[in-house]
Structure formats: structure tokens, C-alpha cells
């Protein structure tokens, strides 16, 4: 079984004090630590487990600058066979739709029975690239996958629904799945493991190599645009809710509703 996994390199921002840059459209990533998108780490592990059980190859693809080699190398150390990086100045400003077009152009040239993406990216979190990509490729797909069983040409998958409910679906290969965290326990990648693949070549392709016109990708080929970033109002430390018990719980219910606390 030949599997393609799309992986994104994202900044880790949970611990950091973020700064919005001068363009107001992006954050200042200076000093931030980058790593593989958490969901994609699970996707790579899922691919390796499938390969371990039925054989085949794994190709990892990432769209982005040379720094993305880091996450591609890590995936190679984890057990992927080939790595491909897609980069072109024309790709800048791509939204999820344009990103899917870029990936679609690349996977067309690579034999595949299965494509895996993450459910969403840690940073932008559009949660859209995988499903849009499947649509462009005309592949059956399933989003939010938490379990994969392979039986010949048929996949049986579980999808995570709300409130602890799951859905079971079958899919015919070739197919695309967007992988949810928790589907497996991604293995650790040791520093020595990464060093061992340090010299492995990583393929690079640009818009031209993929047969993509400049109009098709980047800001021009996108359907949406980020206009402005801003900080939602938050205070230092906890906002202490005061009042009578009734007022306190009333305020809590409101917060719970707003913050997705009532699942």
C-alpha cells in the first residue's frame, strides 16, 4: 500500500507571548519553536502502522520553505520512505483552498492508495485542506478519523462525532482520511534517528514543476484572505467572578456556552 502523508510545520505558541507583526496579517515568528503539526504526527504514525502491517511505501509532503525539511526529516526518521517539499514564491498567501490545489498537483504524480492529512493545523486551524484536497482529486474521504481497519481494498474507519459518539464508515481505496489526534500513540523520534537520515535527499518542486500557474495559487488562487489579526481581550491571571451564588453560576454558564464548554 502506497501512502502519502501531508505534513505542516507549525510554530508552537501555547507557551509563547505572541506578537502580531507590522503587516498585522501574521504573527512574528522570531524566537518561536517550530515542529510538526500535532495532527500530522498522528497521521505519520498511522501510515507507518499500516505499512508495518501490509507493506508499501510512505511519502511525506510539506508545502513551505527550507525549514520544513526539519519536519520532513523527522518523518523519515520515524519511518517514511520519501520526502517532498513544495515551495515557490507564488505559493505565498495561499488559503486552505489554494493549499489543497498545490497538494493536489503534487500527489497526482505519486502513486498512492491512501492519502492522510491531519484534521487541522495547530496554528491556523482551518481544518479544511484535507477534505478540499479529496474533493479536488475525486477521492472518497472521511474526516476526523480515530480508527482505521484495512481489509483488501476496503477501509473501515471510525469518525469522531460530538459527545463521545462515533460513526463507522467504509471507504474504497484509493481514499483520503483526515486523522484525529489520539488515533494512536506516535512513536518517539530520537536525535540519533534524525541524525541517521540527515543526508537523505528531499525532493523539491515549485509551481512550474507542478504545472500550476501563478494565478491558480497564492493570494490570487485563494478564495479567502486574512485581513487583520488582533488580540482578543484577556487579562493577566484569572478574572474573578463575584456576586451572589446565582450571579456567579449565571456568569459561568455564559462563559461555558461561549467557550464551547457545553458539548
Ligand X SMILES: Cc1cc2nc3c(=O)[nH]c(=O)nc-3n(C[C@@H](O)[C@H](O)[C@H](O)COP(=O)(O)OP(=O)(O)OC[C@H]3O[C@@H](n4cnc5c(N)ncnc54)[C@H](O)[C@@H]3O)c2cc1C
Among 1, 3, 4, 6, binds ligand X (CB under 6 A): 6
Residues in the chain: 263
**What is the spatial distance between Cα 57 and Cα 81, in angstroms, rounded to a whole number?**
6
Q: Whole-angstrom Cα distance, residue 67 to residue 48? A: 23
Fill in the per-residue mask, 105 to 144: x = in contact with another protein (CB under 8 A), - = not in contact: --------------x--xxxxxxxxxxx-xxx---xxxxx
> Which of ligand X, another protein, none does residue 204 bind (CB under 5 to 8 Å by kind)?
none
Min dist. Cβ of residue 80 to another protein (A): 13
151 interacts with another protein by CB under 8 A: no
Angle made by CA atoms 183, 186, 191, in degrees to the nearest 5: 170
Q: Alpha carbon 117 to chain centroid distance?
A: 6
Write down the least CB distance from residue 164 to another protein, Å.
4
Confirm or reject binding of residue 67 to another protein (CB under 8 A): no
Positions in 171-230 near ligand X (CB under 6 A): 219, 222, 224-226
* Close Cβ partners of 142 (under 8 Å, ≥ 6 residues apart): 157, 159, 169, 171, 175, 177, 178
How far is residue 216 from each of residues 91, 97, 133, 213, measured CA to CA in Å? Answer: 9, 10, 14, 5
Of 113 and 204, the one with the shorter C-beta distance to another protein is: 113
Of residues 78 through 137, those in contact with ligand X by CB under 6 A are 92-96, 99, 117-118, 120-121, 124-130
* Site pattern 180..209 for another protein (x: CB under 8 A): -xx--x-xxxxxxxxx--------------
Task: Note whether 45 binds ligand X by CB under 6 A.
Answer: no
Say if residues 203 and 76 touch (Cβ distance below 8 Å).
no
Amino acid at each position: 500500500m502506497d501512502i502519502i502523508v501531508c505534513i505542516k510545520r507549525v510554530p508552537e505558541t501555547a507557551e509563547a507571548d505572541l506578537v502580531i507583526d507590522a503587516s498585522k496579517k501574521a504573527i512574528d515568528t522570531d524566537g518561536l519553536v517550530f515542529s510538526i503539526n500535532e495532527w500530522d504526527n498522528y497521521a505519520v504514525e498511522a501510515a507507518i502502522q499500516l505499512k508495518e502491517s501490509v507493506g508499501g511505501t510512505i511519502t511525506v509532503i510539506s508545502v513551505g520553505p527550507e525549514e520544513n525539511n526539519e519536519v520532513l526529516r523527522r518523518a523519515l526518521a520515524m519511518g517514511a520512505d520519501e520526502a517532498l517539499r513544495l515551495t515557490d514564491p507564488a505559493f505565498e498567501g495561499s488559503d486552505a483552498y489554494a493549499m489543497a490545489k498545490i497538494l493536489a498537483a503534487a500527489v497526482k504524480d505519486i502513486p498512492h492508495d491512501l492519502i492522510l492529512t491531519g484534521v487541522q493545523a495547530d496554528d491556523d486551524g482551518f481544518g479544511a485542506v484535507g477534505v478540499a484536497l479529496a474533493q479536488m482529486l475525486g477521492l472518497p474521504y472521511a474526516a476526523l478519523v480515530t480508527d482505521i481497519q484495512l481489509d483488501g481494498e476496503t477501509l473501515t474507519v471510525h469518525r469522531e462525532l460530538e459527545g463521545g459518539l462515533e460513526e463507522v464508515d467504509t471507504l474504497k481505496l484509493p481514499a483520503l482520511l483526515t486523522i484525529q489526534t489520539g488515533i494512536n500513540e506516535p512513536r518517539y523520534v530520537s536525535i540519533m534517528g534524525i541524525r541517521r537520515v540527515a543526508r537523505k535527499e528531499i525532493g523539491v518542486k515549485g509551481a512550474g514543476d507542478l504545472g500550476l500557474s501563478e494565478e491558480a495559487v497564492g493570494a490570487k488562487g485563494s478564495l479567502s484572505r486574512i485581513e487583520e489579526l488582533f488580540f482578543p481581550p484577556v487579562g493577566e491571571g484569572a478574572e474573578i467572578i463575584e456576586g451572589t451564588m446565582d450571579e456567579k453560576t449565571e456568569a459561568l454558564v455564559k462563559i461555558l456556552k461561549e467557550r464551547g464548554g457545553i458539548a
